[in-house]
Amino acid sequence: QKEVEQNSGPLSVPEGAIASLNCTYSDRGSQSFFWYRQYSGKSPELIMFIYSNGDKEDGRFTAQLNKASQYVSLLIRDSQPSDSATYLCAVNIGNTGKLIFGQGTTLQVKP
Amino acid sequence: DTAVSQTPKYLVTQMGNDKSIKCEQNLGHDTMYWYKQDSKKFLKIMFSYNNKELIINETVPNRFSPKSPDKAHLNLHINSLELGDSAVYFCASSQDVGNYGYTFGSGTRLTVV
């Protein structure tokens, strides 16, 4: 089992819709969780982090964490074509600073 | 001001050569990392230094050797380059062992021919 798993997609949504990106992780001791966005040919950019169970909102982005189910998700409301990118889920394993990344989900927002 | 800068941005070299990639951060972070992103976009940690001390050393061929002269710099030297080393190498830095995430450099695309 991979430590961090994501569906590679592509996930295609129409402009204005809600995009839902999902991630599961294997280490129950993980404490911090991150979502990065990576445009083609660019470096990953941190967009959200979450530590506690529940929802955390920042503008059009909402991160959701369920530690019992070992599940993290990212919702993007009012999706825009500029949101088209690969979204990487990352988990801080054992609080060591070692971020383990999923393989990423490619999101396509169609005008 | 670039927060995490890497040089060079592109590197094309022949098999068997030795090359280095340099990284510098001006964020005052204590911890720096090297990650490799393969052709399938999978990001995998290679090394991490905290205040010049090696703290993470993943299963990486010993042809790869990191060096941190001070906490703002982390370089990666690769000996006897192989075709499979072709990838994008990202440097990153963080404060507080990554509890607030990393800041990545722009990456170095290494192509071994």
pLDDT band at A24 (very low <50, low <70, confident <90, very high): very high
Mean of per-residue pLDDT scores for chain A: 93
Burial string for A56-93 (b: 16+ CB within 10 Å, else e) reads eeeeebbbbbebeebebbbbbeebeeebbbbbbbbbbb
pLDDT tens-place string over residues B54-78: 888 888 999 999 999 999 999 999 9
State how beta strands A54-58 and A61-66 pair: antiparallel
A98, A100, A103, A107, best to mutate vs chain B, most B CBs in 10 Å: A98
Note whether A7 contacts B: Cβ–Cβ < 8 A. no
Q: Please tell me the predicted confidence (pLDDT) of residue B55.
A: 86
Q: How far is A95 from chain B (nearest CA, A)?
A: 7
Answer whether residue A96 shows pLDDT above 80.
no
A69: tokens are 């189910």
What average pLDDT score do residues A74-101 get? Answer: 91
Q: Which residues of A touch B106 (CB under 8 A)?
A: 42-43
pLDDT top residue among A30 and B79: B79
Q: Please tell me the predicted confidence (pLDDT) of residue B91.
A: 97
Q: How far is A93 from chain B (nearest CA, A)?
A: 10
Check: CB of residue B33 under 8 Å from CB of residue B50.
no
Neighbours of A47 (CB within 10 A): 19
Element (H, E) at B50: strand B43-50
Element (H, E) at B12: strand B10-13
Q: Using DSSP, state whether B77 is helix, strand or coil.
A: strand
Check: CB of residue A65 under 8 Å from CB of residue A50.
yes
What average pLDDT score do residues B37-52 get? Answer: 90
What average pLDDT score do residues A50-79 get? Answer: 96
Do the chains contact at A95 and B45, CB–CB below 8 Å? Answer: no
pLDDT band at A68 (very low <50, low <70, confident <90, very high): very high
Q: N- to C-terminal Cα distance for chain A?
A: 37
Q: Please tell me the predicted confidence (pLDDT) of residue B41.
A: 85
Mean of per-residue pLDDT scores for chain B: 93
pLDDT band at A8 (very low <50, low <70, confident <90, very high): confident
Answer whether residue A14 shows pLDDT above 90.
yes
Answer whether residue B95 shows pLDDT above 80.
yes
Burial string for B64-76 (b: 16+ CB within 10 Å, else e) reads bebebeebbbbbb
Is the bond preceding residue B66 a cis peptide, omega within 30 degrees? no
